[in-house]
Structure 1
Amino acid sequence: MTEAIERRSFLKLSAALAAGAATSFACVEIASAAPIEVPTVDRLSMRVLIDSAHDQFLKPSTVQGVQHQPPGSGRGADYRQVLHNQWGLSLFLESQRADEGRTILLDFGYSPDALLNNIGILKVDPTKIDALIVSHGHHDHYGGLDGFLAKYRDALAPDLKLYAGGEDNFCHRVSPSSVQGQFTDFGQLDRRELTARQVATVLCETPTVVAGHAFTTGQIKRRSIERILPNTFVERAIKDGLGCDASHYSPAELQGKIIPDEHVHEHATCFNIRGKGLVVISSCGHVGIVNSVRQAQEVSGVEKVHAIVGGFHLGPAPKDYLQQVVAEVGKLKPDVVVPMHCSGLNFALEAQAQLPENVIVPTTGSRLIFSA
């Protein structure tokens, strides 16, 4: 999509939002469509603030040069406090280039209580955060955001920005219920709350540099054998100031029909480690982890893949399809593969079978260190 088209869509969206709510949404930006200059960093520390499990018996390890520091007991100073695990993901990313450091919070877990609890126990410093990124519009990735901002916004930079893949992040979503043809609410990211907290939203349908150290892939091309496995359904419309722009979607959607979620604006977050290559973080990878990595290679011009990290949404994958995808991951020749969240135990086992020297399985509280 060209920048001109993006700006037309943005103007339509602004008008719709103005009609739906009294709140001003001036804090929305459109990322430039110009090619990016991909930054290189010397070191990346990734702390897993939220994942689905915690294992206090994990041992320190180094796999293909990547250090895994396990979480230990997961208890706070008060032994009655312990790390909270939940269906969701949140990563605290600290990068270093020479003497310049940057900190990014990628996704926010399902609920603020888990995120705030784990920030305290793990003793990360949220006041250092330079930017926020949301990977896609699922509650288990943005659910903790408003509570995080309620506690820490005053201590963060006045010009703090949230980088979202595009309008699709703000759509209303529902989940299929046990009764055929019926759905349960799965919420929507409320940009009114972001405006109230004075957080500017940057819509990044195109690749975007974040905080001078990271970059996002922009909209991910679908070009591998991968397919989107069943997940949520999506409603693209503006209602009462909530929702997403439907001006360029299908007639069926404009009639108010919900459709299977294609995650058109899901994006991956990436770092280029000096001398090592790309670290590609796919928080859920609904559009395909291989697709995500290939997109990162294309937009960066960097072929070497150092690490493939995050949720890959292969938990529900049939065995034959899973084996195919893991084989395609192997063809990318990553130094390490680090499954989290929705990747599934089945993926971890298959990856360990096909790539026995290249897999790290962290849990909530783990720290991964990638360095030149």
Structure 2
Amino acid sequence: MWKSILALLVVMVVISIYTLQTPSRKSEELSLTSVVERFGAVDSVYIAVVVDNHRDPEGRCLSAWGLSIYVETEGVRILFDTGPDPQILLHNVEVLGIDLSKLTAVVISHEHGDHVGGLEAIAEINSSIPIYIPAGMSLYTKRWILDLGFSKVVEVVNTTVIAPGVAIVGQLYGPPYEQALAINLANRGLVVVVGCSHPGIVNIVEKASRELGAKPYAVIGGLHLPSSLSVVRKVMSELKRLGVEVVIPIHCSGDVAAELASKLFGFNMSREGHVCSSILFRGG
């Protein structure tokens, strides 16, 4: 009898744990994507740094430790990551003239709080917008995102084209699991947008180029590099070897990375390496 009671208790505990770990299904079922369709290319892409920890020299936008990048190209409007705080996100998009209600999609690179915190603001404005997350994201964070009320949360497994010339680069493990965004600029190559590059920026760029069949042209975002000059120099050399011509290291990239990017790629911190900065890439 005692064995039967003990067995029943074990089953109840297992069910309880599973219930706690499984994301709420208030929104529609998570979709799995793993398709690379015909990629295409765009003639130009506008990129604005919405949230970053490097201050705006003109004091227009609020800085915070985190990252959010706005990408617009040929009718496609994507917010890549959302920073740590809804109010900071709302303030900065207003300054930059970005209408969150008109976003085509939100792409989340990885689950760290300084990249997902602003999702609350987006849920209040437009809960029907597709939210693309790495399939390997923790169940806890998936449940939190679903509970915000979004009706379409899409788990991305492999590299997936989401619009002509625009693709999500499938997840790599850092930890945590992390994905990137790539825009194919006509006659130039891929503009790769990254969150923190926990799996390694070279690994991400190589994967993007290999799976999308295009040369990498530019990299913007957090590179997560150490302060070792020799290590950073090696990474920058590898990016050059791959064909990268533009590197904009922000967020967690580090001062050494910014200095070397300035010397090797013409990076200008005061012009393009801080919150509220923007750049327009044009095809060749």
TM-score, length basis structure 2: 0.84
Matched to 1:368, the amino acid is: I
| Residue in structure 1 matched with residue 73 of structure 2 by the alignment | 95
1:30 to 19, 29, 32: 32
How far residue 92 of structure 1 moved from its aligned partner, in angstroms, is 1.1
Q: Any unmatched runs of 5+ in structure 2? A: 1-16
Q: Is the 8 A contact 1:284 1:312 kept in 2?
A: yes
How far residue 371 of structure 1 moved from its aligned partner, in angstroms, is 1.2
What percent of counterpart residues are identical? 31
CA–CA distance in structure 1, aligned partners of residues 166 and 65 of structure 2 = 25
Matched to 1:131, the amino acid is: A
| Residue in structure 1 matched with residue 106 of structure 2 by the alignment | 132
| Residue in structure 2 matched with residue 161 of structure 1 by the alignment | 130
Matched to 2:62, the amino acid is: H
Q: Is the 8 A contact 1:153 1:197 kept in 2?
A: no
How far residue 16 of structure 1 moved from its aligned partner, in angstroms, is 4.4
CA–CA distance in structure 1, aligned partners of residues 182 and 155 of structure 2 = 17
| Residue in structure 1 matched with residue 188 of structure 2 by the alignment | 276
Q: Secondary structure at the match of 1:30?
A: strand
Q: Secondary structure at the match of 1:217?
A: strand
Deviation string for 1:146-170 (max 9, x for gaps)? 13322x126xxx4x21111213x23
CA–CA distance in structure 2, aligned partners of residues 368 and 42 of structure 1 = 14
Call closer, same or farther: CA 1:48–1:196 in 2, change over 3 Å. closer
Matched to 2:217, the amino acid is: H
Call closer, same or farther: CA 1:289–1:23 in 2, change over 3 Å. closer
How far residue 359 of structure 1 moved from its aligned partner, in angstroms, is 2.2
1:358 aligns with 2:266: yes
Q: CA RMSD in A?
A: 2.4
| Residue in structure 2 matched with residue 290 of structure 1 by the alignment | 202
Q: Any unmatched runs of 5+ in structure 1? A: 1-14, 57-72, 76-82, 172-187, 222-227, 229-261
Deviation string for 1:108-166 (max 9, x for gaps)? 0011111011112222121220111000111110011113322x126xxx4x2111121
Q: Secondary structure at the match of 1:47?
A: strand
How far residue 292 of structure 1 moved from its aligned partner, in angstroms, is 0.7
| Residue in structure 2 matched with residue 321 of structure 1 by the alignment | 231
Matched to 2:51, the amino acid is: I
Matched to 2:207, the amino acid is: Q
CA–CA distance in structure 1, aligned partners of residues 259 and 240 of structure 2 = 14
Matched to 1:277, the amino acid is: G
How far residue 192 of structure 1 moved from its aligned partner, in angstroms, is 4.6
Query: Number of residues paired by the alignment?
Result: 264
How far residue 319 of structure 1 moved from its aligned partner, in angstroms, is 2.8
Q: Secondary structure at the match of 1:36?
A: coil
CA–CA distance in structure 2, aligned partners of residues 141 and 22 of structure 1 = 21
Q: Is the 8 A contact 1:310 1:340 kept in 2?
A: yes
Q: Is the 8 A contact 2:123 2:150 kept in 1?
A: no
1:166-315 matched pairs, under 5 angstroms: 166-167=135-136, 169-170=137-138, 189-220=141-172, 262-263=175-176, 265-302=177-214, 304-314=215-225
CA–CA distance in structure 1, aligned partners of residues 26 and 233 of structure 2 = 49
